[in-house]
Structure 1
């Protein structure tokens, strides 16, 4: 398919940004969607094409107005049963399949990009897109705090060869916007460090309390969020120990309890509930951490030894957020006494930059217009 690029008010062709997002959870999508929305606000004439298998409703909850959604996957990320359980064998099989079929994937998408005369590609952070960009002869800028080579190399064994292949792909990109809480990422050329990227709540604290019937003070209002993969076997029965508290979850399988609020409306995002909360209980995730830090919401995070990115994320909240680091045992087998314990203040006194989306968006607009 070829999309018409004529501006609605003139015969000048509209510039196009093609944005590709890793096929893994929702975190890459939410932060990249914030950048896309910023581009549209700063330069409405730019046409945004977003290539991702993420459902459109999620994109629409972060992006205002018209954009083109192209359901395509160029990587795998990590196959997970929940946010802590990974199936490495399935990951290996699917990665080998992508590598075997890479030539046809590259050729097909490069043809689409050429036909539609895309001006610039932004990728967070599917490695195959840099090769697609080379074939299409379009600059490929990438964005992230880690690459999938980090994850696969950490797994060792047969994944080492996969990591080398991913290295080769990333090295062909034109530029990297390196986000905070990052690994070295030295395989990327032309690195630009930027601040946090995060969305903002769409509702006032008063509206949130009124709509959801929340009358507890922030210190007794707890938000549970474990990303799109969720977390199995959370002992919600512990909530009964906390009389006079309110707990908020996006887990559709959670039981019905008097002081547990279940958010089933897809229009509501975790960041929309954060203003009334005194603590976020989560697992390591860039977008969730970035939103909480932006709003000054303390974070209690479980550890995650199976995902190499987690160490960099946990270091980030230790440095820039009031926090607690808890073990999975504290969450699954304990009585949640950590909620009664004082939070640890951040190690660093200076605030972290929170304007990453604006820096990336303005850089893209400048490049496209020039």
Structure 2
């Protein structure tokens, strides 16, 4: 039985959304595969998104960036964190290589490492003689270079970037998920298609749960009922600027927001706004929810963008200042789905009615096929076969 160790960064939920479909496709090819997941992401989210039957080792092997909020990088804190992380890089790599050889809890050493998208385990796998692949739409080396490119930072940033780049280049290949950053510095790239789950559209059921078939508000208006989902991924949004009680109140509409947002409203405000509901208590699979609403409000991130595009869900987004990956994500969604840019403030105030109307007026292109998971799984299965895995094809 071959053993795959997968590291998934805890920087947001998009990396989990990328990894889940690939592991599911790989399990179809290799049903007896032993799977170990190393991540600092919430266990509940990992269990929901990844195929069953994996051993979880809670550990952070990267931090990506220190975020001030879902939109902005905390530049000084990130710079300090990278300097500390690379202060004795060779010793850190040696310790991680030894950890891979002697995993905790009696877990055997892996036959293959897949990293989304920490570079330390790639360098450690190379040191330990274990084959490894990187996989994502981004890599921290390119984002680091884009973030710390000022001449005044070159003296300390250049050596760190060189170590990051060398770690990524030590992998057998980088599985580059469409859409992705260019990654021109990585000469062993394997481009695969989009990776996204396809949700089960359950619009009528959702409308019933939200009271759209029971109240009189839909009858009072000739406009169609609308359900709009606000989702900003796994990094908490500061609630100070939120003014949910002032969001537009439209007959036949429901706003689905994170529970933490709704809790910023007073009890009186919540009672007065039954059209604003938290989506977590519904207990729905997130992709089913996304496939059942009329639009999504969010920010550029691979998980939401790929799932919105492949499920045909219209999206309003606010840009993330200084986040280089969005330069690949936004044109892709504009070409393959319906999307429209709004100002960040509009996510706080709900001043999006005109933008939603313009979004819904756009023609809907055919959704792209999420064929990247099967393509990536085929590459990994071939390497596992070399390690002696009996293939269930």
Normalised TM-score (structure 2): 0.82
Contact 1:320 1:346 in 2 (8 A): no
Aligned residues: 356
Q: CA-atom RMSD, angstroms?
A: 2.5
Label 1:82 to 1:318 Cα distance change in 2 as closer, same or farther (>3 A).
same
Label 1:207 to 1:342 Cα distance change in 2 as closer, same or farther (>3 A).
closer
Which has the larger Rg? 2
Note the C-alpha offset of 1:134. Answer: 0.6
SS at match of 1:58: helix
Label 1:214 to 1:164 Cα distance change in 2 as closer, same or farther (>3 A).
farther
Label 1:261 to 1:330 Cα distance change in 2 as closer, same or farther (>3 A).
closer
Deviates more, 1:331-340 or 1:51-60: 331-340
Of structures 1 and 2, the one scoring higher in RCO (CA 8 A, sep 6+) is: 2
The answer to whether the aligner puts 1:249 opposite 2:265 as a matched pair is no
Contact 2:4 2:112 in 1 (8 A): yes
Deviates more, 1:336-345 or 1:168-177: 336-345
Contact 1:225 1:270 in 2 (8 A): no
Deviates more, 1:52-61 or 1:354-363: 354-363
Paired with 1:242 and 1:180, the residues of 2 have a C-alpha distance of: 37
Note the C-alpha offset of 1:16. Answer: 0.5
Q: Structure 2 unaligned runs (5+)?
A: 103-107, 387-393
Aligned to 2:73: 86
Note the C-alpha offset of 1:97. Answer: 1.4
Contact 1:30 1:59 in 2 (8 A): no
Match of 1:128 among 99, 117, 120: 120
Paired with 1:220 and 1:331, the residues of 2 have a C-alpha distance of: 17
Paired with 2:210 and 2:28, the residues of 1 have a C-alpha distance of: 30
Label 1:163 to 1:334 Cα distance change in 2 as closer, same or farther (>3 A).
same
Match of 1:138 among 127, 130, 136: 130
Contact 1:183 1:312 in 2 (8 A): yes
Q: Structure 1 unaligned runs (5+)?
A: 1-13
Aligned to 1:149: 141
The answer to whether the aligner puts 1:231 opposite 2:231 as a matched pair is no
Please list, as runs of the form range in 1=range in 2, the aligned pairs for 1:262-281 lying within 5 A after superposition: 262-265=278-281, 267-281=283-297
Aligned to 1:179: 177
Contact 1:239 1:259 in 2 (8 A): no
Paired with 1:92 and 1:326, the residues of 2 have a C-alpha distance of: 30
Match of 1:286 among 273, 298, 302: 302
Please list, as runs of the form range in 1=range in 2, the aligned pairs for 1:1-370 lying within 5 A after superposition: 14-115=1-102, 116-155=108-147, 156-157=149-150, 158=153, 160-161=157-158, 162-201=160-199, 204-215=202-213, 220-232=226-238, 233-254=241-262, 255=265, 256=270, 257-265=273-281, 267-332=283-348, 335-336=351-352, 337-343=354-360, 345=362, 352-370=368-386
1:29-81 per-position Cα deviation (integer Å, ceiling 9, x unaligned): 22112222332233220011111111211111012321011122222111113
Paired with 1:365 and 1:106, the residues of 2 have a C-alpha distance of: 27
Paired with 2:162 and 2:368, the residues of 1 have a C-alpha distance of: 33
